[in-house]
Amino acid sequence: MKFIPSVLGICAAAGLSLGVANAAQEPVKIGMITTLSGGGASLGIDIRDGFDLAVKMKNGMLGGVKTEVITIDDARKVGNAKQIATRMIKQDNVDIVTGIVWSNLAMAVVPSVTKAGKIYISTNAGPSALAGKACSPNYFNVAWQNDNLHEAMGKYATDKGVKKAYILAPNYPAGKDALVGFKRFFKGEVIGEVYTKLGQVDYAAEIANLRAAKPDAVYFFLPGGMGINFVKQYNQAGLSKTTPLYGPAFSFDEGILKAVGEAALGVYNSSQYSWDLDNAANKAFVEAFRAEYKRNPSLYASQGYDAAMLIDSAIAEVKGDLSNQDAFRAAIKAAKFDSVRGAFKFGSNNHPIQDIYVREVVKSDTGVTNKTIGKVFTDHADAFASQCKM
């Protein structure tokens, strides 16, 4: 196991001891558990980079208080994540935990963090249990509930007049949630529903079956390398000319597009964020992100950045006094920050109520990228809020 502690704030703050009154204050400690190595590392790296960028832009002081971020790699392993969380809670005594990418890791870690009285801010995973029955006043999700982007694509496919859809996802809980989410808003007929092996490499058999079924459109949720494999092979089979592909943003983030290239042109995907969204907060973010990392920010990077900005706003609201937990929780829930995605607020279950956009994959002067073409949902909440009692 690799430990990559990056103690950011200290150096930055030492040089720039701005608030004299705050100099004696205890620093805020934030524990970031995320995936920085192995499969799916690019997601965790984006989240970390977005978060670190926000801390840097605030000169190492979130909400005017010296901030210490402890970042540790979970290598996408449940055991590692649990162990790191325990260490952060018991040994490092962090105030806030954040950063987890995967739902299965979140399910294993989040309940123990919130039970220990710490705040957890989710930068990605939003499993239905944590939005419904297992919700907690200490748990906030600044990204989305898992089903949201799939629901948007179901609605969009219906709006586009798709009558017969062929849908596929990996055979694991988040894959099943994805297709359930799509079907919740898709009014046409689902003529094929296929679950592939998690981590599957070759999709030739599925693609041949799919072609024979003659659907109007294909909806697929295959994050990371699986999506790269599928899109390349779908295009090579000549299907992209006849049958449009729909997917959530996870199947077409900036990293995937770089690897897939023009094979993905013309594909539609849903996202709560896109780097071309027109608002002041996003312009500042994209400019700073490009300058720092020489690439376009993905939705994951925006989620990391927003998480830090949310924490920043809440600490400022309570004037750096985290001892009153109720006040601090209320300050987080108020979400008085300018999200880079535009309008943002928390619902009753501490999950986002937000707009969801549809994007098309196009060729631009910076290469193949996403272009926002419309809004599918305005102020969209999740389907599980009513099950949350707190």
Partner 1 sequence: MTTLLFLEQTLNGLQQGVMLFLMAAGLTLVFGIMHLLNLAHGSLYMVGAYVCATVTQASGSFLIGLACALGASAATGMVIEVLAMRRLYNREHLDQVLATFGIILFFNELVKILWGPQALFLNPPDFLNGTIEVLPDTPYPTYRLFIIATGLVVALGLRHLILNTRVGMLIRAGATHREMVGALGVNIDWLYTIVFGLGAMLAGLAGALAGPMLAIQVGMGENILILTFVVIIVGGVGSIRGALVGALLVGLVDTYVRAFLPMGLREVLEPASADSIGAAISGMGIYILMAVVLLFKPNGLFQAYGDN
Burial label for 9, CB within 10 Å (0-12, 13-18, 19+), is buried
Stretch that binds partner 1, among 38-46, 113-121, 301-309, 326-334 (CB under 8 A): 38-46
Answer yes or no whether residue 290 interacts with partner 1 by CB under 8 A: no
For partner 1, the closer CB: 63 or 255: 255
Show the site string, 44-63: x = touches partner 1 by CB under 8 A, - = not. Answer: -x------------------
Show the site string, 153-192: x = touches partner 1 by CB under 8 A, - = not. Answer: ------------------x---------------------
**Smallest gap from residue 176 Cβ to partner 1 (A):** 8
Show the site string, 255-274: x = touches partner 1 by CB under 8 A, - = not. Answer: xx-xxxxxx-----------
Answer yes or no whether residue 217 interacts with partner 1 by CB under 8 A: no
Answer yes or no whether residue 41 interacts with partner 1 by CB under 8 A: yes
Residue 333 CB neighbours (<10 A): 16
Termini Cα distance of the chain: 37
For partner 1, the closer CB: 292 or 338: 292
**Smallest gap from residue 190 Cβ to partner 1 (A):** 9
Token code pair at residue 318: 């309570």
Location of structure tokens 């099950």: 387
Stretch that binds partner 1, among 25-33, 193-201, 265-273, 337-345 (CB under 8 A): 193-201
**Smallest gap from residue 5 Cβ to partner 1 (A):** 18
Size of the site for partner 1 (CB under 8 A): 39
Residue 95 CB neighbours (<10 A): 20
For partner 1, the closer CB: 236 or 378: 236
Among residues 38, 79, 266, 374, the one that binds partner 1 under rule CB under 8 A: 38
Among residues 5, 19, 79, 238, the one that binds partner 1 under rule CB under 8 A: 238
Among residues 197, 363, 371, 375, the one that binds partner 1 under rule CB under 8 A: 197
The residue ranges that bind partner 1 (CB under 8 A) are 37-39, 41-42, 45, 171, 193-197, 199, 201-202, 204-206, 208-209, 212, 224-226, 228-229, 232-233, 236-238, 255-256, 258-263
